Amino acid sequence: MVLAGIIIFIGGFLLFTTSTSASSASSSSLSSFVVMTARPPSAAALAAATESTSTHRYRWIDEYGNVSHETAEEARRGMMRYLSDNAMPYDDPIARTLGLLDRSPPSPSSSSEGGEGEGTTMSTTGGGIYTSKVDGLSDGIVNRTIYHSLLAKELYPWTDVVPKSIYAEYVVPYAIVNEARTDHRTLLFAALRDVLAGYERSPPRRRDFEYVDVVDGTDDDDAAATGAAWDHPRSSTVTSTTPRMMMMDAVKLINGRLWSMLGRASAGPIIFVPGSTPLIYDPMSIIAYGRSSCTGLAILLVCALRSAGIPSRMAGTPAWHGNVDEGNHSWVEVYVPFDDDDDGGKGKRGSGEGGGDAGGEWIFLEPSPGIKEGEDEENSNSDDLYRDPRSRWFCTPERMDGSTSVYATRYTRGGITTTTTTHYPMAWSDPDADVGVVGVDRTAYYTGICGGSTTSFK
C-alpha cells in the first residue's frame, strides 16, 4: 500500500488526501488506514475512562518471569513518570509542550501541577497527566505515545513475554536520539495495523480508553471489544507457534512492507541516500522526503517496531576503526524474549545471554529500504532476525576487530553523570561533547560475534 497524497491536520485529526490513480486494493487499504488513524482521546478522557472501567488490569512479567498486574491508571501514570524523569536534556526547554511532567518541585506561585499558579495554561488529572486549560491546545506527544504503547500491548501477543522494564525503556519512549520530536507514533501505529492484522488477538483485550473513529466519530466497537486474555494470533495464515517466533516474523514483515507503505505514489518507496543526516532523520521528515541515510532509516524502523510493541533501539559506530574519515554506520537491535522451553526454559531467563538483558537477547538487523509495492514484500529479501549475523556487510573480522567502537541507545538516565555514564556518540553531532543520549557499549558483543566467535546464533 502506498500512502499517496498530502497529510492534512484539521482540528487535531490526521487525514490523508488520496490519489484517484491508486489501485482498488491500495484504496481499500488506505481507507482502513484513514479510519484507524483516529485521534486518541484527551488526557481528561483517558482519566475519566479509567475511573469508570477500573477493573481492567495489565499483566506484566519481570526479567525472571514473575508476574504482576497494574490498572490502566497505574500503568499510564508509571509510564508518564518514567518518561518525565528520564527525558533527554534536549527536551527540557519544551517539556511542557511535549506533555512531560515537571521534574523539579514547582514553586507555589508558578505551579502547573495543581493548575492554580498565576498565568498557568496546564493542569494535571488524577493520573498525573497534563491536560490543557486552553481551548484548542493538545496535551502533547507524550500522552499520545503512552496511549499507543498500551494499546499495542493489548493487541499483540508477543508483548506478554516482554519484561516490563524492557517495554518501558524500548517501546514507550517518544524519541531515539536528538531527532525532531513529532507525533509519529499515531501515524505508524495506524499504518501497521493492516500489516499486522493477522497477529492481533481475537478479540483484542479490553481497553480502558475511548477510541474515536475519524470518519464518523463513533466508537470503534472492534477495537474496544471485551474478551478474555487470548494468547494466539487470530489469522489461520500465521504459522508462528511461540511469541518469540511471532515477534521475529513480525519484524521481517514490517521491514519488508514499511518502505513502500510510507512512500509517496509519485516517488516510490523510501530509499537510502547517503549524507542525509542531520537534514532528514526524524520519521516525519523521512516520510515527507522519501529518503534518508542509515541513521534516519534506523530511527524510522525503530519507531515502527516500537509502534507494534516490539522493543528496539538504534545501534551503530561513530567511526570505523576510530577513524572519522572512514565514516559511520547505524542499524537496529531488537529485544527478543526467550521462550520458556528455549534451552532450559526459565533457567535461561536472567542470564543475559546473547549480549542481551535478562529474559531475552538483543539481535540486530539492517533496514531494507527500496522494496517496491507488489514485489512480494512478505517474501522479499528484507533483512530479518533469523539470519547469521555475519551475513551483513559490516559484520566481518576486518571491521569488527576491536578498534571499532559500537554503541546502542538507551533512555534510562538514573544516576547519570558526564564522567561515569556511557553515552551514545552521535557522528552528526559532537561525539565527545554531546552527552545527551545515554548508551550501552556493545563493542565486545560485535567484536565477538563478527570477529570470528563461534557463539551459536538463532
- Give the pairing of strands 360-365 and 329-337: antiparallel
| Burial group, residue 390, by CB count within 10 angstroms (0-12, 13-18, 19+) | middle
pLDDT at 30: 33
pLDDT recorded at residue 146: 96
Three-state SS sequence of the chain: CCCCCEEEEECCEEEEECCCCCCHHHHHHHHHHHHHCCCCCCHHHHHHHHHHCCCCEEEEECCCCCEEEEEHHHHHHHHHHHHHHCCCHHHCCCHHHHCCCCCCCCCCCCCCCCCCCCCCCEEECCCCCEEECCCCCCCCHHHHHHHHHHHHHHHCHHHHHCEHHHHHHHCCCCCCCCCCCCCHHHHHHHHHHHHCHHHCECCCCCCCCCCECCCCCCECCCCCCCCCCCCCECCCCCCCCCHHHHHHHHHHHHHHHHHHHCCECCCECCEECCCCCCCCCCHHHHHHHCEECHHHHHHHHHHHHHHCCCCEEEEEECCHHHCHHHCCEEEEEEEEECCCCCCCHHHCCCCCHHHCCCCEEEEEECCCCCCCCCCCHHHCCCCCCCCCHHHCCCCCCCCCCCCCCCEEECCCCCCCCCCCCCECCCCCCCCCCCCCCEEEECHHHHHHHHCCCCCCCC
What is the residue whose three cell numbers read 533512555?
A: 411
* C-alpha separations of 351 from 323, 370, 408 in Å: 34, 38, 20
Torsion of CA 140, 142, 146, 147, to 10 degrees: 10
Is the Cα torsion angle 141, 264, 176, 162 positive or negative in sign? positive
How distant is the alpha carbon of residue 44 from its chain centre?
A: 24
Residues 79 and 176: beta-carbon distance below 8 Å: no
Angle at alpha carbon of residue 185, lines to 181 and 186, rounded to 5°: 115
Tell me the pTM. 0.77
List all residues 6 or more positions away from 97 whose beta carbon is below 8 Å from its beta carbon.
140
pLDDT for the residue 13: 35
Average pLDDT of each block of 10 consecutive residues along the chain (458 residues)?
41 37 37 39 50 66 90 94 94 92 49 32 45 62 95 95 96 98 97 94 53 32 33 60 93 95 90 96 97 98 99 98 96 92 46 55 95 63 93 96 97 70 92 87 96 52
- Using CA atoms, how far apart are residues 46 and 435, in angstroms rounded to an integer? 35
pLDDT confidence of residue 103? 60
First-to-last CA distance in the chain? 31
Helices 141-155, 43-52: inter-axial angle, 10-degree rounding:
40
Q: What is the pLDDT of residue 137?
A: 66
Sequence ranges of the domains in the chain = 6-387+407-441
Note if the bond before 311 is cis, omega within 30 degrees: no
